[in-house]
A = this chain, B = another copy of it.
Amino acid sequence: MEDAFGQMLLDGADTEIIERDDGFIDTAKFFYFAPVTRWPAVERRALRWVRGRVLDAGLGAGRVALELQRRGRSVVGIDNSPGAVEVARERGVRDVRLLAFEEVDDSLGRFDTIVMLGNGFGLFGSPSKARRLLRRLRPLADRIVAASIGPQAYATDNPAHLAYQERNRKRGRMPGQLRLRVRYRDLSGPWFDYLFVSPDEMASILEGTQWRITRLLQSGSPYYVAILE
């Protein structure tokens, strides 16, 4: 398994190449090293809901963990990319573990807040996996602060996107359930499911999990942060 994402962070490259399983490919400008002043407004606002002992799930280069440490929080950061873990550690995140989100259990201790910014709700992968993980996280944390992006961001008139959503529906997948991989130079990362949901879709996933959305931070764009308790 090639750590394309981690190598990209290690090199400090400034463009991410993301490939979808239908061959659609696109680039995104790098956000992983952005200081808090350059974050989306809803993410800056979301920091107010982060209290106590924190798990940063999907650490990346550590931008969120570093900002929380600066604000005096005790942070455990996890990522399943060895390169990301190395970069975050070098940049000063104090407690970093090489661990996939789905492997989180009580061996990490209890948390006041689990932080999943940077579109982090996507790590839940699929509705069924999301429900399973949310139930498991229930006794481990009081609050989840998770960012996602509503389907208005992908429900465009672009025929390639419409065809992909139709294919998803035929397969019983959610329209915003994307199978992606990162490519970087000669490396191809593992394929993974990444879940984009509207606030309504998120609420319906939460049913029966003992989690609910207690606050929604929005800013006119499809990108939003939900506070789950």
Contact of A186 among B22, B27, B184 (CB under 8 A): B22
Known contacts A15-B15, A17-B17; is-contact A26 B185 (Cβ 8 Å): yes
Closest residue of B by beta carbon distance from A183: B25
Contacts of A186 in B (CB 8 A): 22-24, 159-160
In the bound complex, residues from chain B placing their C-beta under 8 Å from that of A183 are: 25
Q: Is A188 an interface residue (CB 8 A)?
A: yes
* Chain A interface category by residue count: 10 to 19
Residues of B within 8 A of A17 (CB): 17, 25, 27
Kindly state the separation between the CA atoms of A22 and B22 in the bound complex, as whole angstroms: 20
Chain B minimum-CB-distance residue to A26: B185
- Contacting pair B25 A185 (CB below 8 A): yes
Distance in angstroms from A186 CB to nearest chain B CB is: 4
Question: A22 — which chain B residues lie within 8 A by C-beta?
Answer: 186
Residues of A within 8 A of B (CB): 15, 17, 22-27, 158-160, 183-186, 188
A-B contact pairs, 19 of them (CB 8 A): A15-B15, A15-B27, A17-B17, A17-B25, A17-B27, A22-B186, A23-B186, A23-B188, A24-B185, A24-B186, A25-B183, A25-B184, A25-B185, A26-B185, A27-B27, A158-B185, A159-B186, A160-B185, A160-B186
